[in-house]
Amino acid sequence: MFRISVIIPTFNRAHSLPRALHSVLNQTLPPEELIVVDDGSNDNTEALIRETFPQVRYIRQVQQGVSAARNRGIEMAQGDWIALLDSDDEWLPSKLEHQVQLLKKNPEYKVCHTEEIWIRNGVRVNQMNKHKKVGGWIYQQCLPLCAMSPSSIVLHKSLLEDVGNFKEELPACEDYDLWLRICARYPVLYIEQPCIKKYGGHEDQLSQKHWGMDRFRIQALANMLDMNVLNENDEQATRKMLKKKINIFLKGARKHGNDEAVAYYSDVLSRFQLGGKLR
């Protein structure tokens, strides 16, 4: 039996949230429950949900960030499976049905993601090769960048009990960090058919909010090495990617005259090359 809890974290997105909610409510295979975790919005999000979407389980918290909002939803969820949806994205009608069908055929798998359609500033755009999605043991495909979209994910709660939830200390790349921890231990199922529309180009995206996103990926990669859970090939690939990302970040920091960041990450790189701890 697949009891799916859908979790939508949101902050001041009353303008896009109805699209996300309708896309869940119109699924050909309805979920067990739909949870919205409002991370301290000061727009009309609460009134919108209470007046227009009374079937939604609404949880409000003091603003703590998207990871804390997702974790709160996971904690409150009654289903055995978790499906995530960002409040600016949209599911296609048969998204959950396709995933449940595939998971039933492959009961040894505990996580499934899908292909996606990208919309930027209202226009459909093609993904670059580096964003190509795959299934199976994809840890090394996850190293360069986030290889799975949160809005496409369905995963079993037991995975999170094993690897932990989203890290709330990461202001961005929190999904990159979690997928590394999951994919180092578990294979993933992948649906080649697009099942979500992923919208971008707007100012309130986390990728627009934080400079030097690779610093968060550096932290996630360092954490993976410290955990001692990687096989030899994955560990070597992680070390290679960590060195590459530190050098990329240093190049950008030097270009922008960020002397403090240059000093810190130069020291990190030196300790890493000498085989010492990174923190």
Q: Can you state the angle between helices 214-227 and 174-183, rounded to 10 degrees? A: 30
DSSP conformation letters of 99-166: HHHHHHH-TT--EEEEEEEEEETTEEEPPPGGG----BS-HHHHSSS--S-GGG-EEEHHHHHHH-S-
Tell me the one-letter amino acid at 38: D
pLDDT, residue 87, reads: 97
pLDDT, residue 210, reads: 52
pLDDT, residue 271, reads: 74
Per DSSP, 131 falls in state G
Q: pLDDT by residue (tens digit) across 109-133?
A: 999 999 999 999 889 998 888 888 9
Binned at pLDDT 50, 70 and 90, residue 255 comes out as confident
Please say whether the beta carbons of 241 and 191 come within 8 A.
Answer: no
Q: Which CATH architecture has domain 4-206?
A: Alpha-Beta Complex (3.90)
Residues of the chain with CATH 3.90.550.10: 4-206
- Under 8 Å CB-to-CB from 255, ≥6 apart: which residues? none
pLDDT, residue 244, reads: 93
Tell me the mean pLDDT in the region 59-74.
97
Q: Judge whether residue 4 has pLDDT over 90.
A: yes
- HSE-CB at 167 with a 13 A cutoff on CA atoms is 20
Tell me the mean pLDDT in the region 189-194.
97
Q: pLDDT by residue (tens digit) across 76-104?
A: 999 999 999 999 999 999 999 999 999 99
Q: pLDDT by residue (tens digit) across 212-236?
A: 788 899 999 999 998 989 999 999 9
Report the alpha-carbon distance of residue 196 to residue 142 in Å, rounded. Answer: 20
Q: pLDDT by residue (tens digit) across 149-181?
A: 999 999 999 999 999 999 999 999 999 999 999
Q: Judge whether residue 208 has pLDDT over 60.
A: no
Average pLDDT, the chain: 92
